[in-house]
Amino acid sequence: MLTRTICRRNLTLRAPSSTFTRAWGATTRLPIWTVEGSEAGPRARPMHTKPAYQGHIPLNWFENTLLAAGSAIMSLVDPRRGDMIAALGETTAGPSLSRLRDLMLESPEGRMILRERPRVNSETINMDELASYPEGSFGRAYVTWLERCGVTPDTREPVHYIDDPELAYVMQRYRECHDFYHCICNLPVNVESELALKYFEFANLGLPMTAIAALFGPLRLSEKRRSRLFSEYVPWALKCGGTAHSLITVYWERRWEQNVEDIKKELGIWDPPEARWSRPLIEAKALAERRRQASLSRSPSD
């Protein structure tokens, strides 16, 4: 008979408890157990870890792996599931966030971002003010891009599954600046452009989720659109993204008044092949101008 001997000493195996959303939407609390050694032998008891920040949902390695697999499948089945795409990004981030944080710490702008932790949404950004900036400025270009694509800056999911608060902010920052990358790269919001930007982001930032999206996303395209993606957009994305300044270190909100072409030259970014936009540029500029005029009419007279 094979006998296994266990040394009797106090051992505690700790892992966080968590609540997480399964791929089909049900919210479940999974009890995580602490194993404690004693003279009477090992025994297990449930343990709950206190969240490190608001909205934090601690996961152990098994839960993280399960959520990563489930969110990957759901993201492929239904790319409109922003919550699943966000979960995939967080559960597969690994050491890439630490590397991005270190890049930010090496940059004056990046250090300022980490210190001030700005957020990007309609409460922190005055769209009417941006619309009043001169034509050609980054602020005006961003408002025009939002109007042209019919989107708002309020669509980004909060971070839940990253344990370190500072790294959680780095992920949130990447997520909320995604539209800035669209704007500066002159890319609309459609499947081909999103995939082109994912290739760009992978070359520029190295996040695993961008590689997963770039690898499996094209499977949803028709043969013609997939051919155009790989023949035109991917070469631009890999070359431009790989040589451009790391975009995670850019404090975009402090560059509203800067000329957008000067920013692109500074960062080493050039335009991709012409994309298909759902709204003509002249119409988007007219909407931005209308916003500016409305803002002026609401301003108190001198």
Contact 79, 86 (CB under 8 A): no
Distances (CA, A) of 226 to 61, 188, 240, 276: 36, 17, 20, 14
Has 179 been labeled as part of a binding site? yes
**Angle 165-176/178-185 helices, nearest 10 degrees?**
40
How far apart CA 247 and CA 267 sit, in angstroms, is 8
How far apart CA 155 and CA 121 sit, in angstroms, is 8
Contact 195, 172 (CB under 8 A): no
Q: Report residue 109: phi and psi, to 5°.
A: -65, -45
Has 194 been labeled as part of a binding site? yes
Q: Please give the DSSP secondary-structure letter assigned to residue 137.
A: B
Per the annotation, binding residues for Zn(2+) are: 178-179, 182, 194
Per the annotation, binding residues are: 178-179, 182, 194
